[in-house]
């Protein structure tokens, strides 16, 4: 239990750090942050948007910085992230709650599938090193060097568009109404196929590589030799002895690099105009919608932290050593 | 997007020091690795382009022409944009910004990673734990959104500030790897011996520990350069202000916003993507070269030892039916 509690404490600390960064960044801008944002937006802001900014930054009254800080945290706990000015006067939290399910569905699911599939392929690539499987290595290296969004562009050109196999944009057909009926669900799944395949192809290769390397490292351990000597079947040694042990570092690596991966996958949404958080981020940057960008940063960070916690739980199940102490 | 996932695994410390290996022989061993050589050549090629690219560009990248949106031809090798600008020149011009940001961010992040990673690995106590926690926090916070909100809140941005922001936010991975490595070196006999003879802490770190971390530092530098290049291109692609005008990401931004896809202008977005992929592949190969140099188990290719086929580095097995 001690392990889990320590992890939870760490995530709470990280969440606090992210919130604090969010609070102090606009205040570190020399001069009046609102003024400089107005200057940067080149007259695209109307007066109500400016007022919303002053409220968000706590500059509309004479509180000192600590009072502002606690007021800000209090605001966050009520789910108040300020007003978006791309979608003025919709609150940021409302904008996000519309888009977050899409992202969780697409990015969350594909990230997990890509990890599982990549790990599986990595086990095979590591076990059969020196055979034709080695051909996979340069291919995966190349694929992992391509930015996700570029692969998306290519996929759209080749497979979508007029007369193509897949729709090139959106999360569902414009004709159907979002609800939990078959039409809508099918349409949503159909629209998510191409982005999902794009993310799969480009994010999987990293897992193949790291799992292969772990397999190679594990495979020269003595217990593998013993397992062979006992006359266990090839498959048994591969799965229950080599892969079982090689998996642990890969799982902790998965948890660690989630933050990096999510950034990349969000871009796929931009290319496909998928109605998720990534696409919203794109629109927010274009419109210099600082409150929305901040809100997205917080929401993504918190989601990654929760995902990390899940990865830790899985690690706990996989590695008996972490359960022993405590 | 390339994740330095290959670094996840704890790299084996260069413990079984190749005893009398002279510098030259070690160099040969590294350069004898095909992956490393290919990676080095690709990286060198892009470095040269970054230096000379803007000079050899046939046109002014921003100059408008009469030939709008034409495919590759003798006049315009990579075709033209919707304004008749020469894409080949834009690509050449953009290389400098891509490489500059990549390398500057890589250097900044590596310096921070060495300082924080080695310090927190070698020293013990609250400070070291704090540094380690700090790098874990930076590791968990999603990098791209963090870079975005920082660049958006800066009053003015150019290539250099973006490089600094990327460098200051992406050191955590390297710091973690270096810390783990330092922890394993700290109790080695030769370090204990140095401590026993009364050498100062900083001398031990500088002359006993750091030289043994060279390969790890190089790997983390290259990993960061890959990450920085991709982040910068991404920022330019999203349309963050301040990135150089003809950065590859900016070219893709224009291609996307001008509906190059719908118009079938494949020449507009294929070259930048391929260039990114080539540069990334080169750097990744260089990293594999280093990995395999440090950890010989990773070398691919069946090793045959006197008729006994080493199966995958597992138990040597004689072919069925051979008599002993």
pLDDT by residue (tens digit) across B3-14?
A: 444 344 444 444
**Interface contact flag, A297 B148, Cβ < 8 Å:** yes
Q: Quick one: closest CA in B to A148, which residue?
A: B1
Whether residue B215 contacts residue B236, with contact meaning beta carbons closer than 8 Å, is answered with no
What integer pLDDT is reported at residue A60 of this predicted model? 59
Q: What CA–CA distance (Å, rounded) separates B288 from A142? A: 13
Q: What is the pLDDT of residues B33-68, one digit of tens each?
A: 778 888 889 999 999 988 888 888 777 777 777 777
Q: Which residues of A touch B291 (CB under 8 A)?
A: 213
**Interface contact flag, B315 A257, Cβ < 8 Å:** no
Q: Which residues of A touch B297 (CB under 8 A)?
A: 216-217, 220
Please state the pTM of the whole predicted model. Answer: 0.80
What integer pLDDT is reported at residue A40 of this predicted model? 59
Of A163, A162, A155, A166, which is closest to residue A200 (Cα–Cα)?
A155
Q: Which residues of B touch A250 (CB under 8 A)?
A: 8
**Interface contact flag, B8 A40, Cβ < 8 Å:** no
SS3 A277: helix
**Interface contact flag, A161 B262, Cβ < 8 Å:** yes
What integer pLDDT is reported at residue B112 of this predicted model? 94
Q: Quick one: closest CA in B to A296, which residue?
A: B145
Q: Quick one: closest CA in A to B315, which residue?
A: A225
State the residue for tokens 């051909």.
Answer: A135
Considering only CB atoms, A153 lies closest to which of B234, B269, B301, namely B269
Q: How many cross-chain Cβ pairs, A to B, lie less than 8 Å apart?
A: 238
Q: Give the side-chain half-sphere CA count within 13 A for B139.
A: 27
**Interface contact flag, B140 A304, Cβ < 8 Å:** yes
Whether residue A291 contacts residue A47, with contact meaning beta carbons closer than 8 Å, is answered with no
Q: Which residues of chain B have pLDDT under 50?
A: 1-20, 301-316, 322-324
* Distance of residue B164 Cα from the nearest chain A Cα, in angstroms: 16
Q: Quick one: closest CA in A to B309, which residue?
A: A130
Q: Which residues of A touch B268 (CB under 8 A)?
A: none
What integer pLDDT is reported at residue B9 of this predicted model? 40
Q: Which residues of A touch B152 (CB under 8 A)?
A: 285, 288, 290, 293
Q: Which residues of A touch B179 (CB under 8 A)?
A: none
Please give the domain boundaries of chain B with CATH numbers for all domains: 9-310 (1.10.3720.10)
Q: Report the relative pairing of strands B308-309 and B304-305 from DSSP bridges.
A: antiparallel
**Interface contact flag, A301 B252, Cβ < 8 Å:** no
Considering only CB atoms, A219 lies closest to which of B255, B291, B314, namely B314
The size of chain B, in residues, is 324
Q: What is the 3-state secondary structure (H, E, C) of chain B?
A: CCCHHHHCCCCCCCCCCCCCCCHHHHHHHHHCCHHHHHHHHHHHHHHHHHHHHHHHCCCCCCCCCCCCCCCCCCCCCCCECCCCCEHHHHHHHHHHHHHHHHHHHHHHHHHHHHHHHHHHHHCCCHHHHHHHHHHHHHHHCCHHHHHHHHHHHCCCCCHHHHHHHHHHHCCHHHHHHHHHHHHHHHCCHHHHHHHHCCCCHHHHHHHHHHHHHHHHHHHHHHHHHHHHHHHHHHHHHHCCCCCCCCCHHHHHHHHHHCCCCCCCCHHHHHHHHHHHHHHHHHHHHHHHHHHHHHCHHHCCCCCEECCEECCCCCCCECCCCCCC
Of A31, A65, A62, A36, which is closest to residue A50 (Cα–Cα)?
A36
- Residue B305's DSSP bridge partners are B308
**Interface contact flag, B280 A301, Cβ < 8 Å:** no
Other Cβ atoms less than 10 A from the Cβ of A288: the count is 19
List Cβ neighbours of A114 (8 Å cut-off, separation of 6 or more).
A199, A200, A203, A204, A207
**Interface contact flag, B1 A13, Cβ < 8 Å:** no
Q: Which residues of A touch B13 (CB under 8 A)?
A: none
Q: Quick one: closest CA in B to A213, which residue?
A: B298
User: Tokens at residue A191, please?
Assistant: 């629209």
**Interface contact flag, B302 A128, Cβ < 8 Å:** no
Q: Which residues of chain A have pLDDT under 50?
A: 326
List Cβ neighbours of B23 (8 Å cut-off, separation of 6 or more).
none
């Amino acid at each position: 239990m001690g392990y889990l509690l320590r992890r939870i404490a760490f995530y709470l600390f990280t969440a606090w750090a992210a919130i604090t960064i969010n609070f102090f960044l606009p205040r570190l801008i020399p001069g009046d942050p609102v003024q400089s944002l107005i200057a940067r937006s080149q007259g695209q802001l109307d007066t109500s948007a400016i007022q919303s900014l002053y409220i968000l930054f706590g500059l509309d009254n004479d509180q000192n910085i600590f009072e502002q800080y606690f007021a800000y945290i209090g605001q966050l706990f009520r789910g108040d992230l300020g007003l978006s000015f791309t979608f003025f006067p919709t609150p940021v939290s409302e904008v996000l709650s519309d888009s977050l399910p899409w992202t969780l569905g697409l990015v969350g699911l594909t990230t997990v599938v890509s990890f599982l599939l990549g790990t599986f392929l990595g086990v095979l690539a590591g076990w059969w090193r020196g055979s034709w499987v080695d051909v996979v290595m340069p291919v995966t290296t190349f694929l992992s060097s391509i930015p996700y969004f570029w692969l998306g562009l290519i996929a759209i050109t080749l497979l979508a568009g007029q007369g193509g196999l897949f729709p090139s944009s959106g999360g569902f057909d414009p004709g159907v109404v979002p609800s939990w009926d078959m039409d809508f669900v099918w349409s949503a799944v159909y629209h998510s196929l191409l982005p999902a395949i794009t993310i799969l192809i480009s994010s999987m290769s990293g897992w193949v590589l790291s799992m292969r390397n772990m397999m190679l490292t594990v495979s020269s351990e003595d217990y593998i030799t013993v397992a062979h000597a006992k006359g266990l079947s090839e498959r048994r040694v591969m799965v229950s002895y080599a892969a079982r042990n090689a998996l642990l570092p890969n799982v902790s690596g998965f948890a660690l690099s989630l933050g990096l991966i999510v950034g990349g996958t969000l871009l796929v949404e931009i290319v496909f105009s998928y109605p998720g958080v990534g696409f919203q981020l794109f629109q927010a940057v274009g419109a210099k919608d600082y409150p929305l960008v901040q809100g997205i940063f917080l929401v993504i960070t918190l989601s990654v932290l929760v995902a990390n916690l899940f990865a830790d739980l899985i690690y706990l199940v996989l590695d008996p050593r972490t359960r022993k102490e405590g | 997007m390339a994740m330095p996932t290959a670094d996840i695994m704890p790299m084996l410390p260069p413990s079984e020091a190749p005893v009398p290996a002279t510098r030259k022989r070690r160099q040969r061993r590294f350069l004898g690795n095909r992956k490393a050589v290919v990676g080095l050549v690709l990286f060198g090629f892009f470095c040269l382009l970054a230096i000379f690219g803007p000079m050899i560009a046939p046109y002014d990248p921003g100059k408008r022409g009469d030939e709008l949106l034409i495919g590759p031809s003798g006049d315009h090798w990579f075709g033209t944009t919707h304004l008749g600008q020469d894409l080949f020149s834009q690509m050449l011009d953009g290389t400098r910004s891509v490489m500059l940001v990549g390398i500057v961010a890589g250097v900044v992040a590596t310096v921070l990673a060495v300082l924080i990673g080695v310090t927190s690995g070698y020293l013990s106590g609250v400070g070291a734990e704090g540094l380690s926690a700090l790098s874990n926090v930076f590791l968990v916070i999603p990098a791209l959104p963090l870079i975005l909100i920082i660049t958006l809140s800066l009053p003015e941005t150019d290539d250099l500030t973006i490089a600094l922001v990327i460098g200051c936010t992406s050191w955590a991975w390297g710091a973690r790897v270096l810390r783990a490595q330092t922890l394993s070196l700290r109790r080695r006999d030769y370090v204990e011996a140095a401590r026993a003879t009364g050498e100062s802490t900083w001398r031990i770190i500088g002359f006993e520990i750091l030289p043994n971390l060279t390969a790890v530092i190089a790997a983390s530098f290259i990993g960061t350069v890959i990450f920085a290049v991709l982040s910068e291109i991404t920022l330019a692609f999203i349309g963050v202000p301040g990135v150089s005008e003809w950065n590859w990401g900016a070219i893709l931004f224009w291609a996307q916003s001008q509906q190059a896809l719908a118009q079938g202008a494949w020449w507009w977005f294929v070259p930048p993507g391929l260039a990114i992929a080539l540069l990334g592949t080169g750097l990744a190969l260089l990293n594999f070269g280093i990995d395999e140099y440090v950890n010989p188990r990773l070398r691919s290719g069946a090793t045959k030892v006197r008729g006994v086929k080493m199966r995958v580095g597992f138990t040597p097995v004689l072919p069925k039916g051979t008599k002993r």
